[in-house]
Amino acid sequence: MAAIRTLRKMCQLSRHQACELHTTSSRQEAVIISGKKLARQIREEARADVEKWVSAGHRRPHLSVVLVGENPASHSYVLNKTRAAADVGISSETILKHSAISEEELLDLIYKLNTDHRVDGLLVQLPLPDHIDERAICNAVSPTKDVDGFHVVNVGRMCLDQSTMLPATPWGVWEMITRTGIPTMGKNVVVAGRSKNVGMPIAMLLHTDGRHERPGGDATVTISHRYTPKEQLRQHTKIADIIVAAAGIPNLITADMIKEGAAVIDVGINRVQDPVTGKSRLVGDVDFEGKAGGESVIVFLQRVTAQRPGVL
């Protein structure tokens, strides 16, 4: 368990695009805080944990990643994950399988990795081909090796405020908030997006009791989704102290929806076509350009190796 916790610590911010901490001299401009500095700090901590573990005579932690199919984005994501593992001293392997693999064959492979004592952490890269039940696959991974935190046992433990493996993007948001000192106790929070792997876990982490086994943020959290009218969403965000945009919708959060002094955390990632160049580019859920003249704290955690965007 200690080995996999070290491995998970490495993953907390490795999935996020990172920029330098930047604060403007003018009170009329937003303060931009993003993940590069914190990601580097967390990796240094994870590297030290790994070396301490190995120096104590333990085997070096090992991560196994199962990658099904030829999705270019998934291949890029997995490469980034294994590079991050190597950077902190964790050994890893990527097991490639054809997209035609049957669900039964994939389950057999997962069983073998679950029972292999040399494997400390295991993840199956999502999305999977349509003929495979993703929930069945996530639940087949041993809860003690579940690096993604997607197994129903780990989800349940998270909802019960117990220590467990947490999905990396929500954990990254939590680390960003706590390490930068953004206050949460008694604050109003809006989470735009209710996906089971991003929006829901973020809401759970922020609203639960800070005195429990897995401390929460003690915030009052509102979750919006695809059936939340834009004007109703605006009413909630206008009084929010913290907004987490995790919907996978470009420019969902605009300047007129944010009160001064609010913290806006953008974990959305969307590929849009540039009307001038015709080329595709990645944008978040927050209209950053439109908010640049305000006083909000804008925190960007745009995911470059995420499973897939959160959806409303």
Rg (CA), the chain: 20
Of the candidates 180, 172, 117, 179, the one whose C-alpha atom is nearest the C-alpha of residue 149 is: 172
Measured in degrees and rounded to the nearest 5, phi and psi for residue 223 equal -110, 125
Instruction: Report the C-alpha gap between 221 and 257 in whole angstroms.
Output: 17
Residue type (1 letter), 163: S
* Distance linking the first and last C-alpha atoms of the chain: 34
**Residue 298 parent element (H or E):** strand 297-300
Burial of 226 (0-12, 13-18, 19+ CB in 10 A): exposed
Contacting residues for 185 by C-beta, under 8 A, at least 6 apart: 210, 217, 218, 219
Catalytic residues: 81, 125, 148
Question: How many whole angstroms from its chain centre is CA 153?
Answer: 19
Question: How many whole angstroms from its chain centre is CA 199?
Answer: 9
Helices (H), the chain: 2-11, 36-55, 72-87, 103-114, 134-140, 152-159, 168-180, 199-207, 230-237, 288-291
Question: How many whole angstroms from its chain centre is CA 160?
Answer: 20
Take residue 27 and report the two structure tokens written for it.
């009170």
3-state SS class at 97: strand
